[in-house]
Structure 1
Amino acid sequence: MLKNLNRTWLIFGPYQLFIKIMLLGLFILSLSRMGLVVWQWERVSAVTDLWTMFSQGVRSDLIIMGMLMSPIALLLPILVNRWFWPVSRWILLIWSVLILTFIVFMEISTPAFIMQYDLRPNRLFIEYLKYPHEVSSMLWNGFRAEVLVGSLVTILSGWGITRLLKLQFINFKFDWPEWKIWLFWPVLVVILALMIRSSLGHRPANPALFARTSDAMVNSLYINSAWSVYFAIYNMQHEDKSSELYGKMSHEEVLGTLSQLYPWIPNDADAKNPTMHFQQATQHRDKPLNLVIILEESMGASYVESLGGLPVTPNLDRLKKEGWWFEQLYATGTRSVRGIEAVVSGYLPTPARSVVKLSLAQQNFFTLGGLLKQQGYFTEFIYGGESHFDNMASFFIGNGFESVIDERDFEDPIFTGSWGVSDEDLLNKTHQRLSELNAKNQPFLSFVFTSSNHTPFEYPDGRIQPYDQPKQTDNNTVKYADYALGAFFDKAKQSDYWDNTLFLVVADHTNRVYGDDLVPISGFHIPALIVGADMESKQIKTVSSQVDLAPTLLSLMGVSANHPMIGRDLTIESEQLSPGRAMMQFADYFALMKGTDVTVLRMDQPSKSGQYDRLKRRMEVIGDASESQEKEALAHSLLPSWLYREQRYGISD
């Protein structure tokens, strides 16, 4: 039998090396997919069948194998000959081992990534590589076992692959003439091209082609992690066109559509700042209030008892009775920088990276800091970690924030973890800074960003009674973050700055956004509270977005100004704004929710319409979206990208 097998391989001559590497790669990827399917069987079996999963999976695996093997295949006639073989066989061996070990590494990394983000590795896998200190500390303290096991498996796999392929390359014998190698080479090139394109249509296959179910995580299992990351990198290099993932509209049509929903937007596509308008504050004050924004890391609604979550935020639940409490506020994305751009700039989400990280937004981009600085406020960003992370310091300093305080500015902190000093230290520093500024009679905007509730969930001992065991869990760090928040407000209420300062407490996003809905809307639900000064207790029941907070704050502060934010001023009676709306960017999906009606835009696929049931926390897909639904959602997605690309989202002159 072995002789027959060897005789079969001889038919392919030197091209048998190409085939064997490809088959080994397909075996590794299919084995990994099988393991992931078994692990997530309940969700997989609910929306698809094994034949579809594995047939489409092999299709996507052929794409990445074709891409990774292209250098070998295209140079094969030159490298595989009697003269160069003593040297070239080592080149081919090293390349083959590297690509197969890389595939193993990506698949080994996948389960931990799915547990955190409910998707295969994507652009976040690459973006975090810019911050080796924070990431290495987080991995070692929060995922030590996974890192050690994954490293060991990757090393052993690389060793095993090397031994297996070394035998193939060392024992390979030439029995084809040169002309025969070159004769069959064009056939290999054509096969390679078909593997990579995986389509005879106008466009080659992309991950959107494999979005076959209503569960985004299951859709990600159809493909492999190496291709998922590659495509994310490709999109990052073409972000200037990312707004067109869902379709195209003229600028005039975009503004015309949105001006019907937001009548305060000037319908003038030729204007320098097309969305610039004057907002008259509904609160008239002799002296506008100071503003403090506390952006809470990963404190989603699932942790807040009064929003149907766990009882781990007693202080926030207590404070909600003293100010404006948002019952149906939704984050725009799943990253901190997405929350920052929405809260500080009122900027709508896009499929691209947050503007906090994009080059054209590093100067002359609208922020509350730039606006209030024009009005005589001292503007400051306070963070307990390293402010260079996610490009935050550059974005804030370039757009109106006069001061940045970060980890280096804390002396003798109570506790320092992987992501910087504790929330306690952060809010103690904030109290100190606010007292100093108020003593100088200096109006101020302080933007405070917490970090304790972040993997690996570290916090000082003796502060809270842990909600669960072991100590380092998200529930416990949320409870600690709430403890620090309560202690801060206890001091703030006794301070001289309390009566002339407005406070916003809001989450940047939820800790983990997961679920088998096309867009897991419940994972975007976050708490928000406006308190301080003369605020009275009020519940805001209308559906609202993070982009509505800045216009609302300006009105409550008594600040009338020109600005480009299209968000709604919620000091206007909410009945006039019903049913409310929220925008959410989830991976390659964009969702617009109006009341309970949801429209989901998808890349290269028909848009979907659904209904969101808040009590069940589920979205039911009804069918394809109507033309008007798709148009409204598309206008919301296209507007911010256009304004960014043409640098038309700046401060008013």
Structure 2
Amino acid sequence: MSRTLDAGTFYSASPAAGPWRAFAWAGPYAPLLALYAIGLLTLSASRIALMLWQDDRVAAAGIWETMLLQGVRVDIILLGLMAAVPLLLLPLLVSRRAWPLWRALTYGWVIAMVALLVFLEVATPAFIVEYGVRPNRFLIEYLKYPREVLSMLWGGYRVELVGGVLVTCTFAWLSARLLRPWKNAATRWKWWQSLLAWPLVVLLVAFGIRSTLDHRPANPAMFALTADTMINSLILNSAWSVAYEAYRMKDEATSSEIYGKMSEADIVAEVRAAAEGFGGPPRKWLSDDIPTLNALTPTHRRDKPLNLVIVLQESLGATFVESLGGVPVTPELEKLKHEGWWFEQLYATGTRSVRGIEGVTTGFLPTPAQAVVKLSLAQQGFFTLADLLARRGYHTEFVYGGEAHFDNMRRFFTGNGFTSIVDEKDYENPVFMGSWGASDEDLFAKAHERIRAVHAEGKPFFSLVFTSSNHSPFEFPDGRIELYDAERGTDRNAVKYADWAMGRFFEQARASDYWEDTVFLVVADHDIRVRGNTLIPVERFHIPGLILGADIEPRRIATVASQIDLGPTLLSLMGISADTPMIGRNLSAEPPGQPGRAMMQYEQNYGYMHGHELVVLRAQQPPVVATYDPVAKQLGGDTELAEDDARARRALAHVLLPSWLYREQRYRLPATASD
């Protein structure tokens, strides 16, 4: 039996079968309709499961129905983006000859998109456990380092990884089964009907992607309905969260403008005024071309400036330090704190290692963009302590147990003052090698060896020692510590091991001839798993800090302080007079009793804490002010501020300044700077 069709009709002998009948009526648009159906059901089911998992925080927010409805809106945005690529190609593929190509293209595309969104949804719970939100730009950044990431996943998330791959493959197979009739499908649509419907379909998909009639299309800020960042992220879906972050990376240089705008003159005036507000000698601002360049006069005059060693501890938040309200897994640090300057209210600027490196070694303020360690315009000629000290004859060295290329550290450091890099390849017969490289005891042994060698040559030195043992999957050698947790591979056991290794290093350093002319800083890059149900979980930005060595007398630093304050303070204690662009406070020159201030970047929220008052800037939303209780470790009393409120303007100036300085390349030393 045969059929006679006119020349405008495409025909195949296989009729629509099974569930595919629900989509077959849509002709050439049938697979895209199937993508919407599969996607909406899958993403909604995932969102409901995540909300049930986080039921206590969802209940506290009290917006169950709103989350589900707004979630569908986000899913339509994502599915529209996924459908847009083949949809735009359709006018080229509705001829009789191209029809098989259209079927093959859309068949493969739908299966691939379903697999992608399912994989990211399956990965979401583990990501929330680690980072407190859905997958975001961190996922994109980690993709650049497959060896380290795969090793970490296999060591610490093996079950989740295998399970995720199996679930993804299952969904891809089910989607292929559903779409199988489409591979040989007939359509009664004529080519002119397909083209006639195309503008309407494009319009509907475009409106779904834009999702609003406002002048600005939908973005994550529109779905920030609560003060709980994690709950806001549940409203989204993981694929769109990642895609939006990837799209936003093109605007790194102007990223801070999501909070508002201010003239350059007002930015500089606000920041300079704030820097003058903590007592001590008045600042001497030196340049209009480098707006933050100011003269640092040391409080400790020395005939020969001291050497500097910074021990940057991976993920050592206050949550691991008993005297700061954490668990007792840092006994060595607790002993050492009585020998130097102990910071009681020191706060990290962000949640990633590169942000900690940025704050500690450059004194640069945080922004919503990536840390400057990874940004193109900062790879050469950007101010660092190493650049300043190298110009004064110091041997400057970065010592790491892993591969220094990770997070672009090698390139940033070598372009900005570090004359030597020690990493994984430089360890002969290490005691223990984990997913992230040599163990901390190997690291500290290498650091001690290198410092002794340089000191023996009579050279001044600056050594940045960056630990890695306290990083998932938390691997360390046997027989070093009495485990705190019964299960071996936990963060608390890893911290205790890292603390043990650090304690051995300081025993060696104290017995060495370089101790008397070296100042040491022990500080964390950030806390581990920074998350919470407030706009900014301030308690998870709290980190330990200790300055000791040489002739440093014991002292408690009670003021609120930031990582950006450490550079100026160290230079002052070392006895170095210098002109630098750092706006951090020289805490050695401040009178006691100052309220202090700290800046914190958390997802798209920026916090400026003055004393215990925290101003939070939110993307495309009014700023709010809250009060932080450092004893109870609670943030409360959110109140919206007018944009012209003095506190809001001060916070805005501090987040706009670094973006502007980076964009204009004005965070540097003058070309003529020397000793």
Does TM, scored on the shorter chain, surpass 0.5?
Answer: yes
| 1:9-48 paired onto structure 2 within 5 Å | 12-48=26-62
Following superposition, the deviation at residue 18 of structure 1 comes to: 2.6
Matched residues in 2 for 1:319 and 1:614: separation? 23
Which whole-Å deviations, capped at 9, do the CAs of 1:135-190 have from their partners, x for residues lacking one?
111111111111111111111111111111112x1463322333322222211111
Q: Tell whether 2:641 aligns with 1:622.
A: no
Instruction: Kindly state the Cα deviation for residue 238 of structure 1 after the two structures are TM-superposed.
Output: 1.8
Tell me the equivalent position of 1:371: 388
Separation of aligned partners in 1, 2:568 and 2:503 = 26
Q: Structure 1 residue aligned with 2:110, among 72, 79, 96? A: 96
Partner of 1:469: 486
Q: Distance in 2 between matches of 1:489 and 1:144?
A: 36
Contact 2:90–2:102 (CA under 8 A) maintained in structure 1: no
**Structure 2 Cα separation of the partners of residues 323 and 463 of structure 1:** 26
1:118 aligns with 2:135: no
The residue aligned with 1:246 is 259
User: What letter corresponds to residue 301 of structure 2 in structure 1?
Assistant: H
1:28-427 matched pairs, under 5 angstroms: 28-80=42-94, 82-167=96-181, 169-170=182-183, 172-263=185-276, 271-427=288-444
**Aligned-residue CA RMSD (Å):** 1.8
Displacement after TM superposition at 1:616 (Å): 2.0
CA contact (8 A) 1:356 1:391 kept: yes
SS of equivalent residue, structure 1 residue 278: strand
Counterpart-to-counterpart distance in 2, 1:125 and 1:110: 11
Q: Secondary structure of the residue that 2:600 maps to in structure 1?
A: strand
1:78 is displaced (CA, Å) by 4.1
Mapped to 1, the partners of 2:122 and 2:23 lie a distance apart of 31
What TM-score do you get using the length of structure 2 for normalisation? 0.94
Cα pair distance change 1:610/1:174, threshold 3 Å:
same
Measure how far apart 1:298 and its partner are: 0.3
Residue identity opposite 1:593 in structure 2: M
AA partner of residue 360 (structure 1):
L
Q: Tell me by how many angstroms 1:373 deviates.
A: 1.2
Give, in whole Å, the separation in 2 of the partners of 1:174 and 1:135.
46
Q: Secondary structure at the match of 1:590?
A: strand
Q: Contact 1:48–1:213 at 8 Å: present in 2 too?
A: no
Residue 456 of structure 2 corresponds to which residue in structure 1? Answer: 439
Q: 2:663: which partner in 1?
A: 645
Q: Residues 96-146 of structure 1: CA distance to partner in whole angstroms, max 9, x if unpaired? A: 111111111111111111110001000110101111111111111111111
Specify the code of the residue in structure 1 equivalent to 2:423. D
Report whether the alignment pairs 1:522 with 2:539.
yes
Distance 2:30 2:480 in 1: 65
Equivalent in the alignment of 2:446: 429
Which 10-residue stretch deviates more, 76-85 or 454-463? 76-85
Matches of 1:243 and 1:84 in 2, distance apart?
47
1:295 and 1:507 in contact (8 A); partners too: yes
After TM superposition, the structure 1 stretch with the greater mean CA deviation from structure 2, 209-218 or 391-400, is 391-400
Cα distance change on mapping 1:373 and 1:11 into 2, 3 Å: closer
CA–CA distance in 2 between the matches of 1:413 and 1:10? Answer: 63
Contact 1:608-1:621 at 8 Å conserved across structures: no
Secondary structure of 1:22's match? helix
Instruction: Note if contact 1:265-1:566 (Cα within 8 Å) is conserved in structure 2.
Output: no
Amino acid at match of 1:522: E
The residue type paired with residue 73 of structure 1 is: L
Unaligned runs of 5+ in 1: none
Asked if the contact 1:57–1:223 (Cα under 8 Å) also holds between the matched residues in 2, the reply is yes
Q: Secondary structure at the match of 1:17?
A: helix
Cα separation, 2, equivalents of 1:282 and 1:335: 32
- Structure 1-normalised TM-score? 0.97
Over 3 Å counting, the alpha-carbon distance change for 1:7 and 1:37 in structure 2 is closer
The one-letter code sitting in structure 2 at the alignment partner of 1:552 is: T
Maintained 8 Å contact 2:527/2:543: yes
Residues 266 and 275 of structure 1 are in contact (CA less than 8 Å); yes or no, is this contact kept in structure 2? no
The equivalent position to 2:616 in structure 1, one of 600, 607, 628, is 600
**Is the counterpart of residue 610 in structure 1 residue 626 in structure 2?**
yes
Q: 1:545 matched to which residue of 2?
A: 562
- The amino acid that maps onto 2:61 is V
| Secondary structure of residue in 1 paired with 2:592 | helix
Q: Which residue number corresponds to residue 652 of structure 2? A: 634
Q: Secondary structure at the match of 1:159?
A: helix
C-alpha separation between the residues in 2 aligned to 1:221 and 1:301?
28
**CA–CA distance in structure 2, aligned partners of residues 115 and 549 of structure 1:** 31
* 1:384 Cα offset (Å): 0.7
Which residues in structure 2 correspond to 1:476-625 (within 5 Å)? 476-575=493-592, 578-625=594-641
Cα distance in 1, alignment partners of residues 516 and 18 from structure 2 = 89
Deviation, 1:259, is: 1.4
Q: Percent identity?
A: 53
Q: When the two structures are aligned, how many residues end up with a matched partner? A: 649
